[in-house]
Structure formats: structure tokens, C-alpha cells
Amino acid sequence: MDFLRLAKESALAGFVALILAIPLAGFDTNQLGTGTTIGTRPSWVAIAVVAVFVGRFLLGLLPKRRGGDRPPVVSLFIAEHQRVLGWLGLALAVVWPFLPFSSQYLLDLATAVLIYMMLGWGLGVVVGLAGLLNLGYAAFYAVGAYTLALTSAYWGLGFWEALPLAGLCAAIVGILLALPVLRLRGDYLAIVTLGFGEIIRIILINWQSFTYGPNGVNGLPRPTFFGLPLVARAPGGGKTFAQFFGIEFNQSQRYIFLYFVTLALALVVNVFILRLRRLPVGRAWEALREDEIASRALGINPVNVKLSAFAIGALLAGFAGTFFAARQSFVSPESFNFQESATVLAIVVLGGMGSQLGIALAAIILVTLPEFGREFAQFRMLLFGAAMVGIMIWRPRGLFSLRTPSITLSGRQAPQ
């Protein structure tokens, strides 16, 4: 082992850490009566430098990994037991609200996870299956959310009337975006979709007379149980859910109900995509991702295939957006910035491109991870970033990057 070289490399890493740590951790502000003064924290800088130096040194001592192409044991296990794990996950999701440690906060978090799962599955069609990199996915999400907001504000539509409309509007917007970018692939497509995402957000901010601008829209309708609202007192003297079933109204009923509605739609979305994947459209998406020229030579119309991928992806984002808006009962343009698109893309990439279970697990990780960091307050994003860097090092092709064939000769390991 070449200790001298390793020490040199570690020293270099420590030096970089020093340069970074001085502005980032080297200063702090002190509140002194009326003003603030800047103090220095040399010990913090020292800690950072030593930690990086020692860490780099220890990393260098680790044996080099061999045969990096073999999928790790964990993903093999997950791939082999997908069906069982899927059903276990579903069972857990169903009993989740009734577990002893369950709380309104955990329930709300689980609803958010499910919404992101839907988004991840939707974007998984576009990016994972069809191979069309889309960095503006939040735009379709926004269209869905604003469809609920604006149809309820202008026409007084409820959640259930707005839901199909939201999907439809988002799908139409998806096709409108797809038409001009049909010839683009890879980086160019990514840039156009990125711009498109910003355009939608900026329209929402600036078209004040129609979208209520940056203030957003308040008091959105929540889903009702077959027309029975889940509130303390029904407007207009109708019956509420609690009155109808003769039970005490409880604020948590609303959360539980929204959770189950989201879960149900997430399941429908999942089954929908699983089936699509095994149909000619689904295979054509994947064929296009693998080789567009060969696809054309087999008589596949690339225009239709791309349009359908964009439309289906946007449709699902529209549904998810409606749930997002109903969960918060409020929408504003700031909820649909690039950060949102990036998070969903991270879920798809982390989930391993085209693996439904992988995307579900990635959604759980990426939505709950920032929550765990809450106690660390200012270091939360740092923690998140470190986790992402770690994933890129150890699992660059996603956590569970094992593709299930859409059809097999032996019939065994049928995709699920």
C-alpha cells in the first residue's frame, strides 16, 4: 500500500475542505443588542478539515471493489420477491392509519409519499420507459392542481368533478409540449422541457386576472365521500359524513379519508402502468428508448409513441396535482418550481428506471429523508445532498435497477 501517495491525496482533499469550510463554516453572526457582529469559528473549520482528511485516508485503505457489474444482493433479493414485497407494502399501507404510533403528521406524510409515488410512476413512463428526459414535469403537476383550483373558483366544481378534467387538461398540455419537441432527444429535450416548466410557472405567477397570481388560490374543495363532506358542519344544511354514519366528527377522519382516496388512485395508476408496459404501446416505448432507428425500421411510428408517452405521463401528473392541491387546500405557483421536477426525477432515477417497486421505495426515501433531517434544521439540505452523493457512488444505476421482461417464454417470473 502506497501510504505516502494516499497521505498526499488526503492532504489535497483536506486542503479543498479548508477552502470550502472557511466561508461556509468559518464565520457566524452574533446578535449584540441592536446590531449583528461577525465572529469567527476556527474550531469548526479545523473539525471539517480533519474529518475530510481522515475520511479520505480511510476510504483509500478500503479494498477496491471488483466485478462492479454484478447487481448487488439487495436488488437481486428485491427483484426476486417483487410480488411478495409489493403485497406486503400494500398491506402496510392499508393498516398504516390504524397503527398505534400513527398520527396526523405521519398520515399526512404518507399521503405526500403516495402523491410522489404517483408522480414517480408517471414520470417513469416518460423517462424510464420511453427514455425522454423531462425536466419540466412539475408543469403538468401544476396544470392538474390549478385545474382543481380554478374550476372550483370559477365554476364551483368539486374534487371529483375536477379530477378527470385535471387529467385531461394535463394530458392536452403534455401533447402540446410534445408536438414541437418530437425531433429532440437527450440534452436538447431536457433543456426545452426545463424551459417549458418555467414558462408554466411564470404564466401562473403573472396572469393575475385568471390565476390569482403569486397569492395562489385558497379554500380548495376536498374530496367528499359519495357527496358527503368530511367536515364538522355541512354547508347548506346537508348531511356530513359523520352525521350520515352516526359517529362523532373528528378532524382525523378527513386525513384518513384523503389518505385512502390517494392510496386507491395510486393503486389504479400502478396497475394501469403495469398493464400498459405489457401491451404493444409499452413495448414500443421501450423499443424507442433502446433504438429509435431500429424501431422505425420495424414499422413503429415514433411520433405516436412519443406523444402517447408524454400524454400518459402528463395525465398521471395531472391526477397527482389534484391530490396535492386537495391535500393542502391551497395552491400557489411557488409549489411548482424546478426543485419539484428535480425531486420527481430523482425518485425515478433512484428507483432504477422503469421498476415500479423501485420507484415506490425511492419515493418513500426521498420524501421522508428531508423530514428526518428536520432536527438538524440548517444542515438538512446538506444531509440530503450527502445522501444523494452516496447513492451516485454506490448505486449509480438506481437502487433497484433490475428490469423485468414484459413477456417471457417460460412464463416464470411474470412481471409484477
Residues that bind other proteins (CB under 8 A): 272, 275-276, 279-281, 283-284, 286-287, 290-291, 293-302, 403, 405-410
Beta bridge partners of 38: 29
Q: Exposure of 141 by Cβ count < 10 A (0-12 exposed, 13-18 middle, 19+ buried)?
A: buried
- Scanning 207-335, the segments in alpha helix (DSSP H) are 208-211, 241-244, 251-277, 280-290, 292-297, 302-328
In the complex with other proteins, the residue whose CB is nearer, 36 or 408, is 408
Q: How far is the CB of 283 from other proteins (least distance, A)?
A: 5
Q: How far is the CB of 163 from other proteins (least distance, A)?
A: 19
Q: How far is the CB of 299 from other proteins (least distance, A)?
A: 3
Q: How far is the CB of 271 from other proteins (least distance, A)?
A: 10
Q: How far is the CB of 277 from other proteins (least distance, A)?
A: 11
In the complex with other proteins, the residue whose CB is nearer, 193 or 270, is 270
What's the CA gap between 161 and 105, in Å, rounded?
28
In the complex with other proteins, the residue whose CB is nearer, 99 or 303, is 303
Q: Are 333 and 142 in contact (CB under 8 A)?
A: yes
Q: How far is the CB of 173 from other proteins (least distance, A)?
A: 21
What's the CA gap between 402 and 415, in Å, rounded?
11
Q: How far is the CB of 304 from other proteins (least distance, A)?
A: 9
Q: Are 13 and 60 in contact (CB under 8 A)?
A: no
In the complex with other proteins, the residue whose CB is nearer, 70 or 374, is 70
In the complex with other proteins, the residue whose CB is nearer, 22 or 281, is 281
What's the CA gap between 1 and 22, in Å, rounded?
32
Residue type, 128: G
Residue 61, C-alpha cell as written in the block: 485503505
Pairing state of beta strands 35-40 and 27-32? antiparallel
What's the CA gap between 318 and 122, in Å, rounded?
10
Q: Are 188 and 180 in contact (CB under 8 A)?
A: no
In the complex with other proteins, the residue whose CB is nearer, 108 or 292, is 292
Q: How far is the CB of 240 from other proteins (least distance, A)?
A: 37
Could you tell me how far CA 180 lies from the centroid of its own chain? 26
In the complex with other proteins, the residue whose CB is nearer, 300 or 320, is 300
**Unique residue bearing C-alpha cell 505516502:** 4
Q: Are 89 and 360 in contact (CB under 8 A)?
A: yes
Q: Are 368 and 109 in contact (CB under 8 A)?
A: yes
In the complex with other proteins, the residue whose CB is nearer, 35 or 299, is 299
